[in-house]
């Protein structure tokens, strides 16, 4: 089962390795990982997307909680949440495909952020489904390179994930 | 007032009440050693850094206090790894300080540089690289707190040379707050009440207790609880001593080399009350077949231990001592009396198991290792601190020495580290110079840290090393006998070990040897009355096996008895 986990961690060196080590030590793959500072500069958020059966995941969550540099662990899959990812894609643009690419990008509310002699570089943000749908449409047109940020996520409504004791 | 990093460390160690440090110097850590001269701590210079950690570990197990180690960078630091992993697996509080190359050289492959923070990350409870001397005092305070609180464990502090030399304003942090670390001590009241209800409904309960009883100092509460309800108690290797081994309710150890009756009782029980134990594979055997009829209550301070291997019906996270006290307060006297008498049938059933295999062995013309251990118990009346190495020596000790008190049995349970016993005994002896400390060893394990004989002699620590010399890596040989068609690949030491008596003498210790059963008692007596460290070379039956044995991965009731 797919899980989206939000971690609040101390913003200091070595924390990422501690977290990653818990996954790698159990032969778990991290599907995507995103880390950055929060409003409080001493705290960072990590958003981790991973898959695993419930018992193993329960163990991973407890182990993450046990890390001294980890302040809070939330498995968003148990909550109502929104998630987004940004992709940059370099698509080959020939006189025949240019129009089609622009149309697709427009429908997905993306942007062309760089134009080369034979390529468009486009930027799109969305959830997993939207990104996959877009990529499926662009693929036949020729994606030369693809970079994804990994997922970021947040609970819906007025609930705040980043609240913690300080 | 301004102080150097080294002075700050000494001040902080004083504040922590440190009285003993195991150390080994080297280039990167010399500023600290210079400052330690004249500091009010007893210091023991070991002969290998691994032994420094095992010694601090033995000290911590025997006293309940935090063990302290100081070593240098690079090889000094990497040599500590086995010791740290040993302490980590057994939840033993130690603070290890390692020297490190100056901050500016870190990452440059400098002389004697090793990324010890990276290396020890998976085997420490937490570790710190001191990058700014201003953090030094706080980090030291945190390290000791983290090591001893919650589920205890080893904490490493890496000290770049410049942080030892440079100065800063020193203010001792009186308070600590670590927002990511707040262990739960009080058990959930509702859960505790539910547990009591479950207990009162059970007809065949068993207590399965581990090292958590010892680290939370809960032996007294455990005994009160077991006695009040008349529930039999089986212990893990780490739990031995947590409940008196000679108590009528004690079933001894369970698991791979547990007693027949303890294992059978687990398989027959209808309620398993696990306290401070973690369902290790050496305890459970085939996990799906473990305690098949039992509901399981699990009390542990570490939430990750709960439902890790076995699904638990009723978890209680918290300190074992406090949970047990709470449970005791909920038990009504009348209920207990009727409950206890209803358990008669259960006790009879367990008694019948004892008839089937009662841990007997036959002492003929060659010395049986079990006999030596029984005699050690009789001669000391259990009033000794016993360490072991790993393998047959360890299992026979666990089986034949009924430990009476907590913190008297020092053994590497989780990691199973050969070479642990001698330095651990040294650590306990350093803490209790007047006590009789015995390392029960094998001819293989002994040679993994025998260099520490020099330390014993230098500091006049009168540890007695009992070598059960069978000329084999005995447990390996036993597995090869059972499971590898008696092909003894790389497990025979016969004729290759040094003369242990001469070895002892070469170090300035006393060496004794016994070949015949009738020499066992006089030799032990002589050793125990010798004020120096003694090595006894007991030439024992080379092919004696440890029984019962549950082959790895089999259910607990599938025991080999002969």
DSSP of B370-413, one letter per residue? HHHHHHHHHHHTT-SEEEE-SSHHHHHHHHHS---STTSEE---
**Which residues on neighbouring strands pair with residue A88, listed in sequence order?**
A123, A147
Name the burial class of residue A29, with classes exposed (0-12), middle (13-18) and buried (19+) by CB atoms within 10 angstroms of its CB: exposed
Name the burial class of residue B38, with classes exposed (0-12), middle (13-18) and buried (19+) by CB atoms within 10 angstroms of its CB: exposed
Can you tell me which residue has the tokens 């050693």? B33
CA–CA min distance B46, chain A (Å): 31
Mutation site, A40, A42, A68, A162, interface B, largest B CB count within 10 A = A68
Contact state of A55 with B118 under an 8 Å Cβ cutoff: no
H or E segment to which residue B320 belongs: helix B320-330
Contact state of A9 with B181 under an 8 Å Cβ cutoff: no
Measured CA to CA, the distance from residue B479 to residue B546 in angstroms comes to 10
Residues of B in contact with A62 (CB under 8 A): 303-304
Q: Which residue of B has its CA nearest to A65?
A: B180
CA–CA min distance B304, chain A (Å): 5
CA–CA min distance A13, chain B (Å): 10
Mutation site, B116, B139, B178, B179, interface A, largest A CB count within 10 A = B179
Handedness of CA B25, B137, B78, B152 (dihedral sign): positive
Number of A/B CB contacts below 8 angstroms equals 40
Which pair of structure tokens corresponds to residue B219? 């032996």
The string of pLDDT tens digits covering residues B346-394 is: 999 999 999 999 999 999 999 999 999 999 999 999 999 999 999 999 9
> Quick check: A164 contacting B, CB < 8 Å?
yes
The string of pLDDT tens digits covering residues B223-237 is: 999 999 999 999 999
Which of B3, B7, B35, B49 is catalytic? The answer is: B49
What's the confidence (pLDDT) of residue A57? Answer: 87
CA–CA min distance B138, chain A (Å): 15
Tell me, yes or no, if B161 is annotated catalytic. Answer: yes
> Quick check: B303 contacting A, CB < 8 Å?
yes
* pLDDT lower than 50: segments of chain B: none
Which of B475, B478, B480, B549 is catalytic? The answer is: B475
CA–CA min distance A33, chain B (Å): 20
In sequence order, the 6+-apart residues with CB closer than 8 A to the CB of B276 are B209, B210, B211, B212, B213, B214, B215, B216, B218, B239, B242, B299, B300, B301, B320
Measured CA to CA, the distance from residue B106 to residue B117 in angstroms comes to 12
List the single residue in B121, B181, B304 with the smallest CB-CB distance to A63: B304
Tell me, yes or no, if B89 is annotated catalytic. Answer: no
List the single residue in A17, A63, A166 with the smallest CB-CB distance to B179: A166
> Quick check: B308 contacting A, CB < 8 Å?
yes
Whole-number Cα distances in Å, B348 to B128, B224, B354, B443: 55, 22, 10, 41
Per-residue pLDDT for A166 more than 60?
Answer: no
Q: Which residue of B has its CA nearest to A64?
A: B304
Banded pLDDT at A165 (limits 50, 70, 90): low
In sequence order, the 6+-apart residues with CB closer than 8 A to the CB of B192 are B316, B323, B326, B327, B330
ipTM: 0.91
Residues of A in contact with B122 (CB under 8 A): 21, 25
Whole-number Cα distances in Å, A79 to A66, B174, B470: 22, 40, 62
Measured CA to CA, the distance from residue A39 to residue B59 in angstroms comes to 45
Tell me, yes or no, if B49 is annotated catalytic. Answer: yes
The number of residues making up chain A comes to 166
> Quick check: A111 contacting B, CB < 8 Å?
no
List the single residue in B129, B180, B302 with the smallest CB-CB distance to A67: B180
In sequence order, the 6+-apart residues with CB closer than 8 A to the CB of B187 are B299, B316, B317, B318, B319, B322, B323, B326
Pairing of strands B233-235, B250-253: parallel
Cα first-last separation, chain B: 70
> Quick check: B402 contacting A, CB < 8 Å?
no
Whether B45 and B23 have beta carbons less than 8 Å apart is answered as yes
Residues of A in contact with B131 (CB under 8 A): 13
Residues of A in contact with B178 (CB under 8 A): 68
Q: Which residue of B has its CA nearest to A71?
A: B180
The number of residues making up chain B comes to 562
Per-residue pLDDT for A163 more than 80?
Answer: no
Whether B241 and B403 have beta carbons less than 8 Å apart is answered as yes
> Quick check: A58 contacting B, CB < 8 Å?
yes
List the single residue in B121, B129, B304 with the smallest CB-CB distance to A66: B304
Whether A101 and A91 have beta carbons less than 8 Å apart is answered as yes
Contact state of A62 with B146 under an 8 Å Cβ cutoff: no
Tell me, yes or no, if B256 is annotated catalytic. Answer: no
Q: Give the phi and the psi of residue B315 in degrees, each rounded to 5.
A: -85, 145
Pairing of strands B167-169, B2-4: antiparallel
Instruction: Annotate B167-207 with DSSP letters as a single string.
Output: EEE---------TT-----SPPHHHHHHHHHHHHH-SSEEE
Residues of B in contact with A10 (CB under 8 A): 180
Question: Within a 10 A sphere around the Cβ of B530, how many other Cβ atoms?
Answer: 14
> What percent of chain A stands above pLDDT 70?
99
Whole-number Cα distances in Å, A7 to A68, A157, B214, B387: 12, 19, 34, 42
Can you tell me which residue has the tokens 């489904």? A129
In sequence order, the 6+-apart residues with CB closer than 8 A to the CB of B95 are B66, B67, B68, B69, B143, B144, B147, B154, B155, B156, B157
> Quick check: B129 contacting A, CB < 8 Å?
yes
Mutation site, A66, A73, A164, interface B, largest B CB count within 10 A = A66
What's the confidence (pLDDT) of residue B492? Answer: 97
What's the confidence (pLDDT) of residue A161? Answer: 79
The structure's pTM equals 0.96
> Quick check: B307 contacting A, CB < 8 Å?
yes
Contact state of A66 with B179 under an 8 Å Cβ cutoff: no
List the single residue in A17, A58, A62 with the smallest CB-CB distance to B121: A17
Which pair of structure tokens corresponds to residue B294? 């039992």
Residues A18-22 have a mean pLDDT of: 94
Contact state of A65 with B126 under an 8 Å Cβ cutoff: no
């Amino acid at each position: 089962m797919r899980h989206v986990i939000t971690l609040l961690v101390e913003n200091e060196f070595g924390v990422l390795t501690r977290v990653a080590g818990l996954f790698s030590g159990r032969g778990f793959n991290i599907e995507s990982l995103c880390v950055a500072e929060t409003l409080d500069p001493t705290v960072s958020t990590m958003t981790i997307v991973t898959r695993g059966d419930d018992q193993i995941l329960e163990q991973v969550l407890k182990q993450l909680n046990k890390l001294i540099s980890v302040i809070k662990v939330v498995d968003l899959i148990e909550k109502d949440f929104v998630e987004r990812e940004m992709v940059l894609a370099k698509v080959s643009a020939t006189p025949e495909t240019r129009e089609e690419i622009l149309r697709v990008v427009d429908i997905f509310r993306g942007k062309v952020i760089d134009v080369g002699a034979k390529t468009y570089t486009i930027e799109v943000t969305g959830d997993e489904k939207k990104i996959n749908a877009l990529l499926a449409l662009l693929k036949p047109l020729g994606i030369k390179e693809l970079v994804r940020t990994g997922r970021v996520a947040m609970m819906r409504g007025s609930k705040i994930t980043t609240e913690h004791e300080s | 007032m301004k102080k150097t990093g080294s002075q700050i460390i000494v001040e902080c160690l004083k504040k922590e009440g440190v009285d003993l440090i195991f150390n080994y110097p080297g280039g990167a850590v010399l500023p600290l050693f210079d400052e330690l001269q004249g500091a009010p701590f007893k210091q023991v210079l070991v002969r290998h850094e691994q032994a420094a950690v095992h010694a601090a570990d033995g000290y911590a197990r025997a006293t309940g206090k935090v063990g302290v180690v100081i070593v240098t960078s690079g090889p000094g630091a990497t040599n500590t790894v086995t010791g740290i992993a040993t302490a980590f697996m057994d939840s033993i509080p130690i603070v290890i300080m390692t020297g490190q190359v100056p901050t500016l050289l870190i990452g440059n492959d400098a002389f004697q540089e090793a990324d010890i923070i990276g290396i020890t990350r998976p085997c420490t409870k937490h570790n710190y690289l001191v990058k700014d001397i201003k953090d030094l005092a706080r980090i030291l305070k945190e390290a000791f707190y983290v090591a001893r609180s919650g589920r205890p464990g080893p904490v490493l502090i890496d000290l770049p040379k410049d942080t030892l030399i440079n100065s800063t304003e020193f203010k001792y942090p009186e308070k600590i707050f670590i927002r990511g670390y707040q262990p739960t001590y009080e058990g959930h009241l509702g859960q505790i009440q539910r547990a009591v209800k479950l207990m009162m409904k059970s007809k065949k309960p068993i207590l399965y207790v581990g090292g958590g009883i010892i680290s939370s100092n809960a032996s007294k509460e455990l005994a009160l609880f077991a006695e009040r309800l008349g529930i039999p108690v089986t212990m893990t290797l780490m739990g031995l001593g947590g409940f008196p081994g000679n108590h009528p309710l004690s079933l001894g150890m369970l698991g791979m080399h547990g007693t027949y009756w303890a294992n059978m009782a687990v398989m027959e029980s209808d309620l398993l009350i696990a306290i401070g134990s973690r369902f290790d594979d050496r305890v459970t055997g085939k996990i799906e077949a473990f305690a098949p009829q039992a509901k399981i209550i699990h009390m542990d301070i570490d939430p990750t231990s709960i439902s890790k291997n076995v699904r638990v019906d009723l978890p209680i996270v918290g300190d074992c001592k406090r949970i047990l006290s709470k449970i005791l307060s909920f038990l009504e006297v009348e209920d207990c009396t009727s409950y206890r008498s209803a358990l008669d049938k259960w006790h009879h059933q367990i008694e019948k198991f004892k008839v089937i295999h009662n841990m007997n062995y036959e002492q003929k013309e060659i010395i049986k290792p079990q006999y030596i251990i029984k005699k050690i118990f009789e001669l000391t009346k259990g009033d000794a601190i016993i360490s072991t190495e790993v393998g047959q020596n360890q299992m026979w000790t666990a089986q034949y020495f009924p430990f009476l008190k907590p913190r008297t049995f020092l053994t590497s349970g989780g990691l199973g580290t050969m070479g642990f016993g001698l330095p651990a005994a040294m650590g306990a002896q350093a803490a209790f110079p007047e006590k009789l400390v015995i390392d029960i060893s094998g001819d293989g394990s002994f040679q993994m840290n025998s260099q520490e004989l020099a330390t014993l002699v230098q500091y006049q620590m009168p540890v007695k090393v009992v070598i059960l010399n069978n000329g084999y890596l005995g447990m390996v040989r036993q597995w090869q006998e059972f499971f590898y068609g008696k092909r003894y690949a790389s497990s025979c030491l016969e004729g290759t070990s040094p003369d242990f008596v001469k070895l002892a003498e070469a170090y300035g210790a006393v060496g004794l040897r016994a070949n015949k059963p009738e020499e066992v008692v006089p030799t032990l007596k002589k050793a125990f009355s010798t004020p120096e460290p003694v090595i006894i070379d007991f030439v024992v039956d080379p092919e004696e096996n440890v029984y019962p044995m549950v082959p790895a991965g089999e259910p607990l009731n599938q025991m080999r008895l002969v």
